[in-house]
Structure 1
Amino acid sequence: MKRSQYAVIGLGRFGSSLAKELIKLGYEVMGIDKHEEPVEAMSEELTHVVVADSTDEDVIRSLGLRNFDCVIVAIGDDIQSSILTTILLKDIGVKMVVAKALSELHGKVLNKIGVDRIIFPERDMGVRVAHQLVSPNLLDYIELSCEYTIAELTVPRCLDGRTLRDLDTRAKYGCSIVAINKKEGVIIAPTATDSVEEKDVMVIIGTNDQIDHFEKAVIR
C-alpha cells in the first residue's frame, strides 16, 4: 500500500517540528522553504527538501504538489506569502490544504479562500496550557469543534475502584469516558463494569461545560 505523501511549506520551528513528526509516523515528507539554511538543516531529516519560492506559480506546479495527499502551509511570519501560496495550491487542485494562521483575521482570510483545515498553534497551545494550569488533574485538552472537547483526566484517589456504572458520567454530566489508560494498557470503549484506579487516565469527550461540571463535582 502506497504511503501518504505530505509537503510542508515553511521550515521554521512549527513547520520543521511538524515535518519531523510526520516522518516519525512513517510518512513521506517534502520540505520547502525559500531560504537555504532551514532546507539544509532538514536535508537529513526529510524524504525530500527544496529551496523554492512558494508564491511563484511555475515553481509550485513544477514541484508536483498536486500529487501529494496533503500540503501544509506553515509559513511563519509573512501573511501575504501564506495567502498567495494557499491560493496557488487550491488553484492547482491540491487534495487537502492545511494552513497555519498567525491571527484570527488571517484565519478568516484562509477560510474564505477554501483552506481545508486552519491551525492556530499559538492560540491553541495557550488554551491548552491555561486549562492545564487551572485543572491539576487535566493532562491534555483538545478542542474538537466549537462545542466538543476531548480531555485526559488523571483519576484521583477518591475515585479509586469505582466502576463506570458508579460514575454514570453520561446520565449525570452528559460527557462520556471513551478510553481508560492503565499501567497494563489502554481500554478502548470501556464497559459499565470496567473500573478506574488512582493515577489511571480517563479520556473523556463532551462539551466544555459538561467536562468542567464533571471535574468540579467529582474530581476536585
Structure 2
Amino acid sequence: MAKKKSFAIIGASNFGLSVAKTLDEKRQNIKIFDINEEKLNLHLSDFEAGEAIVLDSTNKNALEKNGIAQFDCVIVAFGSDMEASILTVLNLIDLEVENIIVSARDKHHKRILLALGIEEDKIIIPDVLAGRLIATKSLFDIDGDVQSTDGEYSFTHIMVKNEEVFDKTINEAGLSTNKDFNIVQIKRNGKVVIPDEYTVLKEDDFIVMFAKNNMVNDLILKIRGEMEEE
C-alpha cells in the first residue's frame, strides 16, 4: 500500500473533485479548499474522510493560516478561472510550497505556469488528458477503463481470459515487472491483491496495469487472448 500522504485540493471543480475522490478511496489525507461554501457542502458527503474548508486561495494569508506549506502535495484545480489559478500559484510559490500540481485551462494558461516555474510534468490540461485516454482506449480496443496517461504510459484494466495464463504465476506467464510494464494490483472476487512475481493468475482476474502505450496491445493479447471473430 502506498505511504499515506496529505493532499490539499484547491478548487472544487469537476477535475478537483475527481482527484479528491480517488485519493479519498485510497485512504489518503485530503482537504478541499474552495471559496464557495454551498458547493463544498453539496459534495462533502461524497467523501469518507475528506475535510472541506471555505477559503479564498487568492488571499495568501488565508493559505498560510491553514498550513498550506505542510501538505505533501497541493493540487490547484480551478476550472475556467485562470486569474484565480495564477494568483493562487503565485501565493503557493511565495509560501515555499514544494510540490504543486496545477490544472491548466489551455496551452496559454500552461505557458504562464511554465514561466512561473511550475514543472511541465506538474501541469495538467484535463481536456487534452481526456482526449489521450479516449484515443488510447480506441486504438488498442481496450474493454476496461483507461485511467490515466502521460502520453507514453497508461494505466489500464485487463481481464484474464487467456487459458494459456490460467493458474500460472506472474513470472511463469512472462509478466514480471520490467521497464515497459508493471502489474499494480489484481482485483479478484471483490478483493484487491497486491501481487508479486509468484502470484498465481486466475480466470476473470481484473488486472490493473501500468504500461508503455506501445506495449498495451501485446499485453491485452497475452492476458485476454485473441478476440473471437464475429
TM-score where L is the length of structure 2: 0.69
Could you report, residue by residue, the CA deviation over 1:19-51 in whole angstroms, capped at 9, with x for unpaired residues? 355445444443322334324435676434124
Percent identical residues: 24
Structure 2 Cα separation of the partners of residues 185 and 65 of structure 1: 33
Counterparts of 1:14-25 in structure 2, within 5 Å, are 14-25=15-26
Question: Unaligned regions of 5+ residues in structure 1, if any?
Answer: none
Structure 2 Cα separation of the partners of residues 89 and 78 of structure 1: 17
Could you report, residue by residue, the CA deviation over 1:89-119 in whole angstroms, capped at 9, with x for unpaired residues? 0121113212112223323432342336223
Counterparts of 1:8-157 in structure 2, within 5 Å, are 8-42=9-43, 46-52=50-56, 54-115=57-118, 117-134=122-139, 135-143=141-149, 145-157=150-162
Give, in angstroms, the shift of residue 76 of structure 1: 0.9
Question: 175, 198, 217: which one pairs with 1:212?
Answer: 217
Question: 173, 190, 196: which one pairs with 2:197?
Answer: 190
> 1:35–1:190: structure 2 CA closer, same or farther, 3 Å change rule?
same
Q: Secondary structure at the match of 2:79?
A: coil
Could you report, residue by residue, the CA deviation over 1:48-92 in whole angstroms, capped at 9, with x for unpaired residues? 41242x223344334432233322211111112212211210121
Of 31-40 and 92-101, deviating more is 31-40
> 1:86–1:153: structure 2 CA closer, same or farther, 3 Å change rule?
same
Structure 2 Cα separation of the partners of residues 84 and 7 of structure 1: 16
Give RMSD over aligned pairs: 3.6
TM-score where L is the length of structure 1: 0.72
For these two proteins, the number of residue pairs brought into alignment is 212
Q: Secondary structure at the match of 1:94?
A: coil
Give, in angstroms, the shift of residue 167 of structure 1: 4.5
Structure 1 Cα separation of the partners of residues 117 and 196 of structure 2: 35
Question: Unaligned regions of 5+ residues in structure 2, if any?
Answer: none
